[in-house]
């Protein structure tokens, strides 16, 4: 179980924190007229990566942890674009861009690997949607609507065969 883990022990958080410190240093050299633009956006995105990892570690459920890791991954992608833009605008030197981008790509890969590691654990702990006791689940299941959609997507001759097979299988299913 990953929930309620000390975020300072998580390797990807350590790397994200170091990248944030490096980014603050690099953006300190940006022109003053970018202080409320690109500088602010880049710093905010970098901080968001580490902050979302930390917040996810403080949650009780692995599913919540996974969600915050995915948000951190989105912030890392946003930062990747800002780095590219600042380099293209010649605000960030090419060498600095390459160094920061290399670190960021490592963090993105680590986040992806961690999500893949935690997500099966989180999914195993949650009941399937069909198993949940909710009146909305029962009302939302409409096989006829699915059949209408299939008839629009599949050629007629193949649809007739598929619908006959579906009808046979459906007879064995309990009514919802």
pLDDT digits (tens, 9 = 90+) for 10-19: 999 999 999 9
- Could you count the other beta carbons within 10 Å of the beta carbon of residue 49? 29
Q: Is the pLDDT of residue 136 over 80?
A: no
Q: Are 125 and 5 in contact (CB under 8 A)?
A: no
CB under 8 Å, gap of 24 or more: what pairs does 23-26 form?
23/79, 23/100, 26/92, 26/96, 26/100
Q: What residues contact 112, with CB distance under 8 A and at least 6 apart?
A: 73
CA distance 10 to 5: 8
Q: Share the mean pLDDT of the chain.
A: 80
Angle at the Cα of 171 (from 165 to 175), degrees rounded to 5?
130
* 135 confidence band (pLDDT: 50, 70, 90): very low
Question: Could you tell me the pTM of the whole model?
Answer: 0.68
Q: Which domains does the chain have, with CATH numbers?
A: 7-126 (1.20.1440.60), 131-171 (no CATH)
The band of 123, judged by pLDDT with boundaries at 50, 70 and 90, is low
The whole-number pLDDT of residue 112 equals 95
- The neighbour count for residue 144, using CB atoms within 10 Å, is 7
Residue 125 has pLDDT above 70, yes or no: no
Percentage of the chain exceeding pLDDT 90? 57
């Amino acid at each position: 179980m990953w929930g309620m883990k000390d975020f300072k022990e998580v390797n990807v958080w350590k790397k994200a924190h170091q990248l944030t410190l490096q980014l603050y240093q690099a953006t300190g050299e940006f022109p003053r007229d970018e202080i409320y633009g690109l500088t602010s956006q880049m710093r905010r995105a970098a901080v968001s990566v580490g902050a979302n990892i930390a917040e996810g570690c403080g949650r009780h459920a692995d599913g919540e942890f996974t969600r915050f890791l995915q948000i951190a991954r989105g912030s890392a992608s946003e930062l990747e674009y800002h780095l590219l833009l600042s380099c293209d605008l010649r605000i960030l030197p090419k060498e600095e861009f390459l160094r920061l981008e290399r670190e960021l790509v490592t963090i993105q890969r680590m986040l992806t690997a961690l999500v893949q590691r935690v997500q099966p654990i989180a999914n195993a702990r949650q009941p399937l949607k069909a198993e949940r006791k909710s009146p909305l689940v029962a009302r939302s299941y409409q096989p006829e609507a699915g059949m209408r959609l299939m008839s629009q997507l599949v050629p007629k001759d193949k649809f007739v065969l598929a619908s006959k097979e579906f009808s046979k299988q459906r007879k064995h299913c309990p009514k919802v």
